[in-house]
Amino acid sequence: MNYVALKMLFGDRAKYLMLLCGLTFAVMLIVQQGSIFWGLMMWSQASITNLNVPIWVTDPGIAQVDEVKPLADTAVDRVRSLDGVEWAVPLYKGLLRARLATGEYHQITLTGLESATLIGRPAEVQEGRFEDILQPDAVVLDQWAVERMGGPTVVRVGTIFELNDKLARVVAIAKTQKSFTNIPVVYTTYEGAMRYVPRERRILSYVLAKHKDGVPVEDVVQRIRTQTGLGAFTQEDFGFKTYMWVLVNTGIGINFGTTILLGFIVGMAIAGQTFYLFTIENLRQFGALKAMGASSFTLARMILLQAFTVGLTGYGVGIGLATVFGFLTAQGGNLPFAETWQLLLLVLVALLAICLVSASVSIIKLARLEPAIVFR
Amino acid sequence: MNDDSQPAAVRARGIVKSFGTGDTQITVLKGIDLDIYLGELLLLVGESGGGKTTLLSAIAGILDINEGNIDVLGVPLSALPANKRTRFRGQTMGFIYQQFNLLPALTAAENVAVPLLIQNIGRSEALRRARGMLNRVGLPDRTEFLPKNLSGGQQQRVAIARALVNEPRLLICDEPTAALDGPNGQKIMELLREVGRSPDRCVIVVTHDSRIFHFGDRMASLTDGRITNIERIQQEGTA
């Protein structure tokens, strides 16, 4: 009877296409919005993932990575002295204004890396050599900084600009993940950063650390917390903390959640209504099948097959369209778009739920259908 | 030729069927006793609203009765649980409807194959048998036509082929000629009479159409929920 079910489904072309469009639209909307949302969440952690170190040590009351609460300089040595710590280095992270030769000002995030190891440096360099950062007045920009500060005609390797009235010379362009705030990132050494930033009693932003091989990172994090009183997080936990902060303190979660929910509801409404209509219009035919000996179970199986066939087709087409959208708009990392398998799995579950609910309404109708309808 | 000495294919006793409750309750069948024999074509006639279709539905086991017993081919239908009754119906009964009730998306052959598919017979075998049956009802060249491309008479022939394809012993027909013109109606009834004359089958036809009365072996009149008359029909060429 599967054959009959599919012929019935494809035979009513108008309704089949309407069902397909409704489900495709729902899937595309959910995947597209979900991918942008997840892309934004990844951007919100860019300051953490771009540095890619296992342990972040900071003030225990910190809310998220961009909210710097400076530490005493001694924090580095206190962390280094703990068992299970392979290494610990200082990091400066703060906002400054850059003044270009054109007279334009741009707010930038200054990132000061420890000069001996350059731990936290970006993995990829587009132009120049990152190691040249050790030269006097040398800074490295990320590609987003070049874009935000006027493009490669204005800012490139060799460009000189001012940071807090002091000279900074671009020696390389690094490639990084775009950040949520999209503020240009300027890398220098920790010592270089001390020269640029106004003098304060506490300058140290973070201590970056690594656990020794064979020692669980969570154990080291816990040890840092208990023995120094500082806040310590694994890279993943700090990323999650930042992600939760963005969710709670911005409208992003509600905005995207509402759109995704709307996609789900619209998809369910269209699919449910069309599918029910499809069943109602074929009620006499279903009654005839029942009279001919088809059990309610057989009819339910037919309805489920129809629902899941159109659902999975809509799933494929919807994902295809969303992927094409992402491919066209997110090229070069300009739009946050992260289509993960977890999201696709979640959408599949949501879609199957839509199909199941839509089919259930029809199945209940058919279960109550008296085959005697065919004689009326 | 059939006679009352043939075994009863359907034996109905004291059938009562009501719809609604309380003041709005209507009793449609008021104690029906009826035997239908193998090898006969029984016409069930009577005024509209007299209970013909309700009785047909009860005999088919697709409508529960309030009182009485119906035995079909020796099986007490009303005592069977719903799923067994459905299976029994699929194995022993065929249906022909006034409005044909063909599945519009299926070809003639696929429509005819449906009862076999319900019985879990493989698609290729079901289609082979369906084409053979369409050949028997005079539609060998219409097997791949959709119902919308067939005339009313051809659609009813497809419906008859569908009703016969699993070789049912009881053929239940509800106004089979109502949607057809005179000549097509006559052809359909000739087919049904041929089926009814098979010694191990019987045909029940609900009809208003007096032009087809002569195709029946017996005629039962149903008025206001009661059988008021059962008469044997004089066949052409018999005394």
Give pLDDT tens digits for A122-144: 989 999 999 999 999 999 999 98
CB atoms within 10 A of CB B63: 20
Q: Which of A4, A13, A292 to mutate to test binding with chain B, by most B CBs within 10 Å of its CB?
A: A292
> Cα(B146)–Cα(B155) distance, rounded to whole angstroms?
9
Please name the residues in contact with A6: beta carbons below 8 A apart, sequence gap of 6 or more: A305, A306, A309
Please name the residues in contact with A247: beta carbons below 8 A apart, sequence gap of 6 or more: A41, A253
What is the pLDDT averaged over residues B28-33? 90
Q: Which of A278, A375, A376 to mutate to test binding with chain B, by most B CBs within 10 Å of its CB?
A: A375
User: Tell me, what's the pLDDT at B239?
Assistant: 41
Is the pLDDT at A262 greater than 90? The verdict is no
> Which residue on chain B is closest to A292 by alpha carbon?
B90
List, as one string, the DSSP characters of B56-124. Answer: HHHHHTSS--SEEEEEETTEEGGGS-HHHHHHHHHHHEEEE-TT----TTS-HHHHHHHHHHHTT--HH
> Hey, which residues 66-125 in chain B have their CB within 8 Å of chain A?
83, 86-87, 89-91, 95, 97, 99, 101, 103-106, 110, 114-115, 117-119, 123
What is the pLDDT averaged over residues A70-81? 91
User: Tell me, what's the pLDDT at B5?
Assistant: 57
What is the pLDDT averaged over residues B98-110? 88
Q: What is the pLDDT of residues B135-167, one digit of tens each?
A: 888 888 999 999 999 988 889 889 888 988 888
> Cα(A56)–Cα(A239) distance, rounded to whole angstroms?
10
Position A304: which residue type?
A: L
Distance from CA of B22 to the nearest CA of A (A): 22
Among residues of chain B, what percentage have pLDDT more than 90? 27
Q: What is the pLDDT of residues A295-324, one digit of tens each?
A: 888 889 998 999 899 889 999 999 999 999
> Which residue on chain B is closest to A370 by alpha carbon?
B62
Nearest to B87 among A289, A293, A374 (CB): A293
Is the pLDDT at B2 greater than 60? The verdict is no
Is the pLDDT at B183 greater than 60? The verdict is yes
Nearest to A375 among B53, B87, B91 (CB): B53
Is the pLDDT at B238 greater than 60? The verdict is no
Distance from CA of A371 to the nearest CA of B (A): 6
ipTM: 0.79
User: Tell me, what's the pLDDT at A333?
Assistant: 67
Q: What is the pLDDT of residues B64-100, one digit of tens each?
A: 888 999 999 888 988 888 888 888 888 889 888 877 8
Is the pLDDT at A45 greater than 60? The verdict is yes
Highest mean pLDDT: which of A276-280, B146-150, B194-198? B146-150
Question: Chain A contacts of B53, Cβ < 8 Å?
Answer: 372, 375-376
> Cα(A191)–Cα(A114) distance, rounded to whole angstroms?
8
Please name the residues in contact with B183: beta carbons below 8 A apart, sequence gap of 6 or more: B153
Taking the C-alpha atoms of B19, B8, B212 and B228 in order, what is their torsion angle to the nearest 10 degrees? -50
User: Tell me, what's the pLDDT at B4?
Assistant: 53
What is the pLDDT averaged over residues B210-222? 89
Is the pLDDT at B109 greater than 90? The verdict is yes
User: Tell me, what's the pLDDT at A12?
Assistant: 83
Nearest to B62 among A3, A11, A372 (CB): A372
The answer to whether the beta carbons of residues B3 and B218 sit under 8 Å apart is: no
Spell out which chain A residues touch chain B, with contact meaning CB-CB distance below 8 angstroms: 1, 3-4, 7-8, 10-12, 284-285, 287-295, 298, 370-372, 374-376
Among residues of chain A, what percentage have pLDDT more than 70? 98
B24 vs A129, residue with greater confidence: A129
Distances (CA, A) of A246 to A251, A315, B75: 8, 30, 72
Average pLDDT, chain B: 86
Q: Tokens representing A268?
A: 């369910």
Is the pLDDT at B180 greater than 90? The verdict is no
> Cα(A355)–Cα(A262) distance, rounded to whole angstroms?
16
User: Tell me, what's the pLDDT at B44?
Assistant: 92
Question: Chain A contacts of B56, Cβ < 8 Å?
Answer: 375
User: Tell me, what's the pLDDT at A338?
Assistant: 83
User: Tell me, what's the pLDDT at A131?
Assistant: 93
What is the pLDDT averaged over residues B42-46? 91
Q: Given CB atoms, is B174 within the 8 Å cutoff of chain A?
A: yes
Nearest to B174 among A285, A292, A375 (CB): A375
Cβ separation of B101 and A7 shorter than 8 Å? no
Task: Provide the 3-class DSSP secondary structure of residue B14.
Answer: strand
Question: Chain A contacts of B104, Cβ < 8 Å?
Answer: 11, 285
What is the pLDDT averaged over residues B108-133? 92
User: Tell me, what's the pLDDT at A168?
Assistant: 93
Cβ separation of B118 and A289 shorter than 8 Å? yes
Q: What is the pLDDT of residues A168-221, one digit of tens each?
A: 999 999 998 888 778 889 999 999 999 898 887 888 999 999 999 999 999 999
* Sign of the C-alpha dihedral computed for residues A58, A60, A61 and A64 taken in this order: positive
User: Tell me, what's the pLDDT at A332?
Assistant: 67
Distance from CA of B226 to the nearest CA of A (A): 19
Cβ separation of B101 and A285 shorter than 8 Å? yes
Nearest to A8 among B60, B105, B119 (CB): B105
Sheet holding B202-206, edge to edge: B93-96, B170-174, B202-206, B41-45, B218-223, B226-232
With DSSP H G I counted as helix, E B as strand and the rest as coil, what are the percentages for chain A, rounded to 5?
Answer: 55, 20, 25
What sections of chain B are H helices per DSSP? Answer: 52-60, 82-92, 108-118, 123-136, 152-164, 182-196
Q: Which domains does chain B have, with CATH numbers?
A: 39-61+81-232 (3.40.50.300)
Highest mean pLDDT: which of A312-321, A356-365, B93-102, B176-185? A312-321
Cβ separation of A4 and B106 shorter than 8 Å? yes
User: Tell me, what's the pLDDT at B1?
Assistant: 46
